[in-house]
Structure 1
Amino acid sequence: LQVSHDILLQLSSSYMAADAYPHPLADLVCQGESKDLHSYFEQSVQNLLKELSEKFKGWLSTPGPLKAELSCKKVREGHPLRLWKVSTDVEAPPTTVLHWVLREHHLWDEDLLQSWVVEVLDKDMEVCHYVMDSMAPHPCRDCMVLR
């Protein structure tokens, strides 16, 4: 799978320009209707399935990198994050793309310093830890991701 260096540079700077840094997971659970992590993630999956059935109604297209469609949506009043959707056409089988996104992060994100799987929860879910570089004088960022 080959992605041009120009597209990678545009993508890596676009999340910083949008001020889209991750918030602590506890903030998301406290702000939402869920009382614990399990119910928060279950509700998130249900919301995604609902969005798919509605063909992503209510999304606002925003300028993004070339050859990519970038859209955002405000979830509800008081929610700390906007939902973002990015799509592009890739000439590769879905399994190849999934492997590239999940297992070859170091090839497409120049800010990635380290990454590892903290825990495999089941065959389709794992907790990962990333250490991302920041522009000086900011310190590196630690990110925990459930994927």
Structure 2
Amino acid sequence: MPAQNLAVCFTPSLFHLSASRLDKITPTRRHKTIGAAGMPTEREMRETKAAQQCLTFLIQHCRSVFVAAEMGSEDRMQSDNDAPLLKELGLNGPRAYLIDRVLDLVKEHSERWKGWMLDGSHEDVEITCKIPNDCHPLKLFRVWVDVAAPPKQVMNRIMRERNVWDTSVVNWRTVDALHAPDTDIHQYVLNDTVGHPTRDCFVVRNVWDTSVVNWRTVDALHAPDTDIHQYVLNDTVGHPTRDCFVVRETQLLGGTSAAVLDSRFLIEPKAGHSRVTYLSRIDLRGRGPSWYNKVYGNIIARQMIRLRESFQSSSDSIGPETKV
């Protein structure tokens, strides 16, 4: 539908025009006010036309009108500076730090997710949450689904085919391999709402396989946000104002930088399928705590449903076996 037609439809509900005054008067007086033919007055027509033109302009130029304000960039940088640098994660480097996070996840699983609270459900997916003790207002959400595929295939889809189960992903790339083949720096761009700025996410990914005892694949992602894209690559220059390095090429693929506070997957083999547990805590910038409490858990639940359905559709396309 053209922008002008949309404006005609939405103008009465978005703008308080003089026409709303007619709802408060009797039918007899309204007849005398607007004429026998029921036509609006000249003033009301001018106001309606101006409102429609205004709304048409906003719809046509939504990507340039609704942008992130520059006045908040200093505050955002100040909050980013509070996050540790990549080289400051743990005593033995980022890879050891990520492995510690993986062990924490396995420990919580062995304790049957003690301390997690039921937050609701979406379709048949249960949503639970937990409030970490780090003074950050966002909750940590957890969902789980059973997927009709072996753990290795599920891990590959989560790591390399995120656009299949996360429809908000519009771009992605692997920036560097910190400790090949199990640890790398990955960047992806989210666009969950048309007209809103895209969100740029940097994550350090680590895959840990406990095949010695019981085959589980854990994908632990942690991103102290801005500090990740300041990690040294092949072509780098020193930043004079901070004790770190910056990449020479353009850093952001998206519009604004998001903060991936926590994003971990636990993939367990079950009888003929895999159980995927997803923990997520991402500050998308521009959303309030109430939005996260009401919406975010359902978003990650839908993502896991799409992950499950992606394997169902691929298995259905194979078709039944035939006798030769």
TM-score by length of 2: 0.33
- Bigger radius of gyration: 2
Quote how far apart the aligned CAs of 1:42 are. Answer: 5.3
83, 101, 112: which is aligned to 2:158?
101
Q: Give the TM-score, by structure 1 length.
A: 0.67
Map of 2:198 onto structure 1: 140
Q: Residue 61 of structure 1 aligns with which residue?
A: 118
* Amino acid in the other structure paired with 2:157: W
Q: 1:125 to 1:26 in 2, by over 3 A?
A: farther
Structure 1 residues 124 and 71, CA, compared in 2 at 3 Å: closer, same or farther? Answer: same
- Look up the SS of the partner of 2:102 in the other structure: helix
Counterpart residue number, 1:52: 109
Which of 31, 37, 50 lines up with 2:89 in the alignment?
Answer: 37
Confirm or deny: 8 A CA contact 1:28 1:80 kept in the other structure: no
Following superposition, the deviation at residue 67 of structure 1 comes to 2.7
Q: CA deviation at 1:77?
A: 5.2
Percent of residue pairs bearing the same amino acid type: 36
Greater relative contact order, per chain length (Cα 8 Å cut-off, separation 6+): 2
Q: Are the counterparts in 2 of residues 59 and 72 from structure 1 also a CA contact under 8 Å?
A: yes
Displacement of 1:53 in angstroms is 3.0
Q: Letter of the 2:89 partner, please give it.
A: L
Give the superposed CA RMSD: 2.7
Q: Which has the higher helix share?
A: 2
Report the alpha carbon displacement of residue 55 of structure 1 after superposing the two structures with TM: 1.6
Decide whether aligned partners of structure 1 residues 41 and 101 sit closer, same or farther in structure 2, where only a CA change above 3 A counts: closer
- Partner of 1:127, secondary structure, is strand
Give distance in 2, aligned partners of 1:129 and 1:97: 20
Q: Distance in 2 between matches of 1:25 and 1:126?
A: 21
Against the structure 1 CA distance between its residues 68 and 26, is the aligned structure 2 distance closer, same or farther, given a 3 Å change threshold?
farther
2:183 to 103, 120, 125: 125
| Distance in 1 of aligned mates of 2:151 and 2:106 | 19
Q: Where does structure 1 differ by over 6 angstroms across 4 or more consecutive aligned residues? A: none
* Alignment CA distance shift 1:27-1:49 (3 Å): farther
Kindly provide the amino acid, as one letter, of the partner of residue 64 in structure 1.
S
Could you tell me how far apart the structure 1 residues matched to 2:112 and 2:164 are?
A: 32
Shift of 1:108: 2.1
- Aligned equivalents of 1:53 and 1:63: distance in 2? 23
